A = this chain, B = another copy of it.
Amino acid sequence: MNFKIERDPFIKALQKVQGIVEKRTSIPILSNILIEAAESDIEITATDLEVGLKGKYQAKIGKEGKITVSAKKLYEIVKELPNLEISFSAKENDWVEINCGKVKFNIVGLPPDEFPSFISTKEEVFLEVESALLRKMIEKTSYAICNDETKYNLNGIFTKVEHTENGQVLKMVATDGHRLSISTGEFIGTANPELLKGVILPKKGIYEIKKITDEGDGILQFAFINNSAVIKKAETTLVMRLVDGEFPDYTRVIPNSNDQIVKAKTVDLIHAVKRMAILSSEKFKGILLEIYQDVIKISSSNPELGDALEEIDIKYDGAPFSVRFNAKYLLDVLNVCETEHVLMKFKNELSPSIVTPDSDETLIAVIMPMRI
């Protein structure tokens, strides 16, 4: 097997798979990528058995065939090569020879037959979602994904198509038990049974979907095969094993009688929370919100460092009350609110509070207050 390829597209192709391959693996071949040359393209595949990525790239194929080599080393080498055409050949005993100008590398590979097989899609019906919409929905929920690996059913984003009065919507939900974020987007087409029931897309897979959406607008195609999600965009195919678990019933977490409504300027609130967080304790990042008519006092205190207080103007006409939050939880959601104002909806100082952008119903966050 041998082919020739330009350096820059080869660098980009190799960069794409760096996040997929396992860094410290007991299965050496998972540190490698599979390179297959056929007709006028090469296909590059990486997988850690949970998430896999395959991409197709133009190349001049001299002889068809396949080989696996270290994803990291090959990327390091190609990045440093002169900007000339690269010649790549598989040799005996799975060695690879790379030539570029007066530079020559011989690197050890592993037999391609040992590389895990990639899901093949043929007759599946693919759903279509706008890349830009999905990017926004991931941004608005991924901050709340649980990082505690023992809570495996929370290590991803619950994704579901729901029927509403006006048709159907796509919902993405993430929670770590302390806060919850729900993003809603338009969904056109016919949902399949998996999406109507809801699936949990794994955290690592979510970040790979995000990367694909970051590359540009367009349509992403989704299918579900054997407990895996398959996502296609142009010549890239991403596969991820769905999280096997029950996602908690988030609809029961959203309070429906929070009638104490505070309206604040988003940027003012972000800055105030950031400042007050400086003196909040490392461990809990607790800040106190004292809510009065049309003014909120935000404060923090730390026996070792001192205390801080700030007032900002708000719209509120209820009875005064106080609530304490982890500053990070509040900041995370404020940072993804894109409207000039945000609404904070309270029932009392101990019940779950709602934070949403003003007049934008595509994002609802629920945050548990800290005990005062």
Contacts and interface: CB of A to CB of B under 8 A. Distances in A.
A311 interface: yes
Interface string A345-362: 000000000000000000
Interface stretch (A102-110, A171-179, A223-231): A102-110
A315 interface: no
A162 to B, nearest CB: 40
A70 interface: yes
B275 A306 contact: no
Contacts of A82: 271
A73 interface: yes
A319 interface: no
Given A95-B306, A103-B310, A312-B102, A278 B108 contact: no
A41 to B, nearest CB: 26
Contact of A107 (B271, B305, B310): B305
A81 B276 CA distance: 10
A185 to B, nearest CB: 34
Contacts of A96: 306
Given A82-B271, A271-B82, A307 B77 contact: no
A202 to B, nearest CB: 31
Interface residues of A, number: 31
Contacts of A149: none
A76 interface: yes
Can you tell how many copies of this chain the complex includes? 2
Nearest to A105: B308
Contacts of A310: 102-104
Nearest to A109: B306
A279 interface: yes
Given A306-B95, A306-B108, A275 B77 contact: yes
Contacts of A107: 279, 305-306
Interface in A282-324: 304-312
A80 interface: yes
A163 interface: no
A63 interface: no
Contacts of A103: 272, 275, 308-310
Given A80-B274, A80-B278, A108-B305, 17 more contacts: A73-B279, A73-B305, A77-B278, A80-B271, A81-B275, A96-B306, A103-B272, A103-B308, A103-B310, A104-B310, A105-B306, A105-B308, A106-B306, A106-B307, A107-B279, A108-B304, A108-B306
20 contacts: A73-B278, A73-B305, A77-B275, A77-B278, A77-B308, A80-B278, A81-B275, A95-B306, A102-B310, A102-B311, A102-B312, A103-B272, A103-B310, A105-B306, A105-B307, A106-B306, A107-B305, A107-B306, A108-B305, A108-B306
